[in-house]
Amino acid sequence: MTSVAEMIARANARVTTIAVGEALGLVSDAGTVFVDLRDSAELAREGMIPGALHVNRGVLKFALDPATSYHQPALAAGKRIVLYCGSGGRSALAADTARAMGVPRVAHPGGGFKAWLAAGGPRVDSGSA
């Protein structure tokens, strides 16, 4: 059996991981879409990056695919997509999925939302994003 840690390590070898400092600089960039992959309970408890789009990791493939009813047009606008989760594991796997689907400009911040908060990144309540 392949462990989750091995899967994450393989994904990280194939995707672009950006430093939290770089991610902080992109939060107000009109050419970048932040996507929060965490579940609703996490968002309600911890908040999210201002302006982020919430797409639960389980439906990300459908949100990326214009042929599905779950498609999110913001993800097909030619913008850089920065996927994030709590600590970086789910976002690494999701970025690898997006890469495999042909998304050209996808990345995830190392350390996820926890690192974002530790670096002083802004957050809003999930109902305010």
Domains and CATH numbers, the chain: 4-128 (3.40.250.10)
The pLDDT, as a whole number, for residue 128 is: 59
Alpha-carbon gap, residue 103 to 122, rounded angstroms: 27
pTM, to two decimals = 0.94
The pLDDT, as a whole number, for residue 76 is: 87
Q: The sheet that has 53-54: what strands, in order across it?
A: 16-18, 106-109, 80-84, 32-36, 53-54
The pLDDT, as a whole number, for residue 39 is: 94
Backbone angles phi, psi at 2, to 5 degrees: -85, 130
The pLDDT, as a whole number, for residue 49 is: 97
Q: Radius of gyration of the chain from Cα atoms? A: 14
pLDDT 10s digit of each residue in the chain, 129 long?
999 999 999 999 999 999 999 999 999 999 999 999 999 999 999 999 999 999 999 999 999 999 999 999 999 888 999 999 999 999 999 999 999 999 999 999 999 999 999 999 999 998 655
